[in-house]
Amino acid sequence: MKPRVSRKPEPLRIASALVLGVAAAGVVHAAAPRTFQETVSDLAIQITSPLGRTGMSGPVRIVARIAANPTATLSTVQFFVDGQLIGEDKDGPPYAIEWQDANPFEEREIAVQVADSSGATARDVISLRPLEVVERTFVSSVIVEPSVRDARGRPVNDLDASSFRVYEDDVLQEIDLAAPDTIPANYTLLVDSSQSMSRRIDFVRDAARQLPARLRENDQVTVVPFTSTLGTVTGPTKDRDTISGAIQAIRSSGGTAILDCLTAAVTQLGAVSGRNIIVLITDGYDENSQVSFDEALEAIKASKITVYVIAVGGVAGISLRGEDVLREIATQTGGQAFFPAREFQLSDVHGLIASDVQQRYVLTYTPSNQRLDGKWRAIAVETLDPAHEVAARPGYTAPLPPPVTPTIELTIRDLDRQYIDVTAGDLAVFEDGVEQTIEGFEESLTPLSMMLVLDSSGSMRRDQEAVMEAARAFARQLPGKDRVGVITFADRPVLTQDLSVVREFILAAIGRYQAAGGTALYDAIADALARLRKAEGRKAIVVLTDGRDEDNPGTGPGSVRSLDDVLGALEEVDATVYAIGLGPNVDRETLERIAEVSSGEAYFPADVTVLGADYRRILENLRRRYVISYTSTNRTYDGAWRQVEIRPRRDDIAVQSAGGYFAPEPE
Closest CA to 482 of 360, 604, 595, 619: 619
Report pLDDT for 139: 58
- Crossing angle between the packed helical segments 293-303 and 320-332, to the nearest 10 degrees: 20
- CATH T-level assignment (fold) for domain 186-364: Rossmann fold (3.40.50)
pLDDT at residue 167, as a whole number? 96
SS3 annotation, 236-275: EECCHHHHHHHHHCCCCCCCCCHHHHHHHHHHHHCCECCC
Residue 177's CB is within 10 A of a number of other CB atoms, namely 13
The single-letter DSSP state of residue 617 is H
The pLDDT tens digits of the residues spanning 441-468 come to 887 777 899 999 999 999 999 999 999 9
How much is the pLDDT for 31?
38
How is residue 530 annotated by DSSP?
H
For residue 270, what pLDDT band results from cuts at 50, 70 and 90? low
**Can you give the pLDDT at residue 274?**
61
d(CA 337, CA 327): 5
> Do the beta carbons of residue 428 and residue 435 sit within 8 Å?
yes
Residue 417 DSSP class: S
Residues 467 and 611 sit within 8 Å (Cβ to Cβ): yes
DSSP-derived secondary structure for 156-183: -----GGGEEEEETTEE--EEEEEE--P
Non-local CB neighbours of 365 within 8 Å, separated by 6+ positions: 141, 142, 144, 166, 168, 173, 174, 175, 176
- The per-residue pLDDT for 25 is 29
Please report the pLDDT score of residue 203 as a whole number. 74
3-state secondary structure at position 558: coil
Provide the H-helix boundaries in 444-562.
464-477, 503-511, 521-532
Contacts for 357 with CB less than 8 Å, ≥ 6 apart = 181, 185, 277, 306
Query: Cα–Cα distance between 451 and 66 in angstroms, integer?
Result: 73
Within 10 Å of residue 320's Cβ, how many Cβ atoms?
Answer: 9
Residue 21 pLDDT exceeds 50 = no
- CA distances, 103 to each of 56, 98, 107, 383 (Å): 11, 15, 9, 46
- pLDDT number for residue 272: 55
Give the pLDDT confidence of 166-190 residue by residue, as tens digits: 999 999 999 988 887 666 778 888 9
pLDDT at position 45:
93
**What's the whole-number mean pLDDT along residues 417-440?**
88
Percent of the chain exceeding pLDDT 70 equals: 87
Residues 6+ apart with CB under 8 A from 380: 166, 167, 170
- What average pLDDT does the segment 314-325 reach? 64
**Confidence check: pLDDT of 12 > 60:** no
Superfamily for the 448-623 domain: von Willebrand factor, type A domain (3.40.50.410)
- Decide if pLDDT at 478 tops 60: yes
Which residues partner with 111 through β-bridges?
80, 125
Interstrand relation of 538-545 and 576-581 (parallel, antiparallel or unpaired): parallel
> pLDDT at position 37, please?
45
- 357 vs 92: which has the higher pLDDT: 92
Tell how far CA 386 is from the center of its chain: 43
Residue-level pLDDT at 241: 84
Question: In the chain, what are the domain boundaries?
Answer: 12-134, 142-180+373-397, 186-364, 407-443+628-662, 448-623
pLDDT tier, 667 (very low <50, low <70, confident <90, very high otherwise): low
Q: What is the pLDDT of residues 61-78, one digit of tens each?
A: 899 989 998 888 999 999
304 pLDDT above the threshold of 90: no
Where helices occur in 4-114 by DSSP H, the ranges are none
Confidence of residue 36 (pLDDT cuts 50, 70, 90): very low
pLDDT at 5 over 50: no
Most distant CA pair in the chain, distance: 112
**Closest-CA residue to 204 (of 274, 124, 279, 286):** 279
Summary mean pLDDT of the chain: 83
What amino acid occupies position 577? V
Considering the four listed CATH numbers 3.40.50.300, 1.10.1370.40, 2.40.10.350, 2.60.40.10, the one that applies to the domain covering 12-134 is: 2.60.40.10
| pLDDT higher than 70, residue 9 | no
Per the model's pLDDT, the better-predicted residue between 86 and 21 turns out to be 86
| For the ranges 24-33, 184-193, 395-404, 638-647, the one whose mean pLDDT is highest | 638-647
Residue-wise pLDDT for 600-647, tens only, equals 899 999 889 999 999 999 988 888 788 889 999 998 888 899 999 999
The model's pTM = 0.52
428 DSSP β-pair partners? 647
> Residues 577-592: pLDDT tens digits?
999 999 998 999 999 9
At residue 3 the predicted structure's pLDDT band, cuts being 50, 70 and 90, is: very low
Return the axis-axis angle of helices 464-477 and 503-511, rounded to nearest 10°: 170
Burial of 581 (0-12, 13-18, 19+ CB in 10 A): buried
Residue 256 in this model has a pLDDT that exceeds 50: yes
Q: Which residue has the higher pLDDT, 651 or 211?
A: 651
CA distance 38 to 45: 9
Determine contact, residues 299/272, Cβ cutoff 8 Å. Answer: no
Same CATH fold assignment for domains 12-134 and 186-364:
no
Output the pLDDT for position 386: 92
Q: Residues near 557 by Cβ (< 8 Å), separated by ≥ 6?
A: 522, 549, 550, 551
CB 276 within 8 A of CB 218: no
Point out which residues pair with 443 in neighbouring strands.
626
Q: Per-residue pLDDT tens for 200-235?
A: 777 777 766 777 777 777 788 889 999 999 988 888
The distance of Cα 304 from the centroid of its chain, to the nearest Å, equals 18
